[in-house]
A and B are shown apart, each in its own frame.
Chain A
């Protein structure tokens, strides 16, 4: 039976783009299905009844949900171009950073940008702490994965691309070359990578999305 890979995603979602990037880096062909999150398809609800979210990967009819779980599955199923470290200890470190990012950083950065005036300072501080921790982990490495883009880079790509667009729109200066030189340089390198840059959302479309949200929050 020919292999069938489908991905239910949303063009602007960093979680959905993680999966696309991973599949493309591994040269896996897939069919992409764009979901309207205001009007979720019956298929999405069938394949992810618990969370009803994107991304969902469908491999030969079997659904997998939750982006990190999908990334683990992709690595175990398609062995070309490994994105995860080979060594169990280094893999544990990568899993730690992926979790740290998803549990703390991504949300902190997002909240800091959207925070109301009275909560802004505290939210910015929290987000800065997270970025400081990431900066410390990056040190003089080109990528979190070392010389090559790895899983943690793919997970943290929200910071490298989405955050930079968002902070411009809302007028926050969270990630700057002065405050976080290593992280800033990393963000430029990452979004400049050949396969990655072709699989990020169109910048101007993202700006429109964020601007619309900013307007409706006023």
Chain B
């Protein structure tokens, strides 16, 4: 049977962006289905009945949801470009940082930009602290994955969204002075051919976020 790979996503979502990046890095052919979050398709609701969110990867009729779960599945299913290191300890470190980004950085980003006025200042402070951990973890590496992009880099695509949020809201958080390594990383990351293909156009994203600030509608 010919392999069938479907991805239900939303162009401006960093979470579906991650899956596209991974599939492209692996050279996997897939069909992309753009969802309208205000009017979710019956297929999406059928494939992700519990969370009703994107991204959803459907491989030969089998749905997988949650972006990091999907990334692990992609790495295990299609050989070639490795998303995770081979060594179990290095894999554990990569998983730790990927989890850190979604468990800590993501909620802080949300609160910093979409939260109540009084929560925002503290959220920005917290976010700065978390970004510092990432800055230190990067060390002298080009990417979190070393010489090439790995799972942590893909999950850290949130930083591209963070920069867009900053521009849209007129805030300055991720400066070269405070975060030189992360700034370099962002530049390397968005310059990568494959990543470039999977990123939502920045000006469109900034325009969208400018409109949206105050009303989040982003899925995980």
Which positions in A face B, CB cutoff 8 Å? Answer: 50, 59, 62, 64-66, 68-70, 72-73, 76-77, 88-89, 91-93, 95-96, 99-100, 133
Which of B23-31, B95-103, B119-127, B195-203 lies at the binding interface? B95-103
Contacts of B77 in A (CB 8 A): 88
- Residue pairs across A and B with Cβ atoms less than 8 A apart, 26 shown, are A50-B100, A64-B89, A66-B96, A68-B95, A68-B99, A69-B95, A69-B96, A72-B91, A72-B92, A76-B91, A77-B88, A88-B77, A89-B64, A89-B73, A91-B76, A92-B64, A95-B66, A95-B69, A95-B72, A96-B64, A96-B65, A96-B66, A96-B69, A99-B66, A99-B68, A133-B50
User: Judging by beta carbons under 8 Å apart, are A92 and B73 in contact?
Assistant: yes
User: Judging by beta carbons under 8 Å apart, are B89 and A62 in contact?
Assistant: yes
Whether a CB of chain A sits under 8 angstroms from the CB of B32 is: no
- In the complex, what's the smallest C-beta–C-beta distance from A92 to chain B, in angstroms? 4
Interface of A is mostly: helix
- In the complex, what's the smallest C-beta–C-beta distance from A93 to chain B, in angstroms? 8
Whether a CB of chain A sits under 8 angstroms from the CB of B41 is: no
CB < 8 Å neighbour of A73 from B59, B65, B92? B92
Smallest CB gap from A49: residue in B: B133
In Å, the complex CA distance between A167 and B162 comes to: 42
Whether a CB of chain A sits under 8 angstroms from the CB of B62 is: yes
User: Judging by beta carbons under 8 Å apart, are B88 and A92 in contact?
Assistant: no
In Å, the complex CA distance between A70 and B65 comes to: 22
CB < 8 Å neighbour of A65 from B59, B73, B96? B96
In Å, the complex CA distance between A188 and B64 comes to: 30
- In the complex, what's the smallest C-beta–C-beta distance from A47 to chain B, in angstroms? 12
Chain B residues 55 to 91 lying within 8 A of chain A, measured CB to CB, are 59, 62, 64-66, 68-70, 72-73, 76-77, 88-89, 91
Mark interface residues in B107-142 (1 if CB within 8 Å of A CB, else 0): 000000000000000000000000001000000000
- In the complex, what's the smallest C-beta–C-beta distance from A72 to chain B, in angstroms? 6
In Å, the complex CA distance between A95 and B92 comes to: 15
In Å, the complex CA distance between A68 and B91 comes to: 12
Q: How many B residues are at the interface, by size bracket?
A: 20 to 34
- In the complex, what's the smallest C-beta–C-beta distance from A118 to chain B, in angstroms? 21
Contacts of A65 in B (CB 8 A): 96
User: Judging by beta carbons under 8 Å apart, are B92 and A69 in contact?
Assistant: yes
Smallest CB gap from B76: residue in A: A88
Given A65-B96, A73-B88, A77-B88, do A89 and B69 touch, yes or no (CB 8 Å)?
A: no
User: Judging by beta carbons under 8 Å apart, are B88 and A88 in contact?
Assistant: no
User: Judging by beta carbons under 8 Å apart, are A50 and B133 in contact?
Assistant: yes
User: Judging by beta carbons under 8 Å apart, are B92 and A70 in contact?
Assistant: yes
In Å, the complex CA distance between A92 and B68 comes to: 10
Smallest CB gap from B77: residue in A: A88
What 6 pairs across the A-B complex have the smallest Cβ distances?
A76-B88, A88-B76, A92-B73, A73-B92, A69-B95, A95-B69
Smallest CB gap from A90: residue in B: B62
16 additional A-B pairs beyond A64-B93, A89-B59, beta carbons within 8 Å, are A50-B100, A59-B89, A64-B96, A66-B96, A66-B99, A68-B99, A69-B92, A69-B96, A72-B91, A77-B88, A91-B73, A92-B64, A93-B64, A96-B65, A96-B66, A96-B69
